[in-house]
Amino acid sequence: MRYSVDYKSSLKSRHWRKLRRRVLRRDHYECRGCGRSSSILDLQVHHITYKLNAELRSELITFYPICHRRIHEAAEIINVI
Which residues contribute to the site for Zn ion (CB under 5 A)? Answer: 31, 33-34, 64, 67
Residue type, 81: I
Pick 1 or 66: Cβ nearer Zn ion: 66
Pick 10 or 29: Cβ nearer Zn ion: 29
DSSP string, 48-67: SS--TT---GGGEEEE-HHH
Using the CB atoms, write b or e for 2-14: b if 16+ within 10 Å. Answer: eeeeeeeebeeee
Pick 45 or 64: Cβ nearer Zn ion: 64
Q: How far is the CB of 78 from Zn ion (least distance, A)?
A: 19
Q: How far is the CB of 16 from Zn ion (least distance, A)?
A: 21
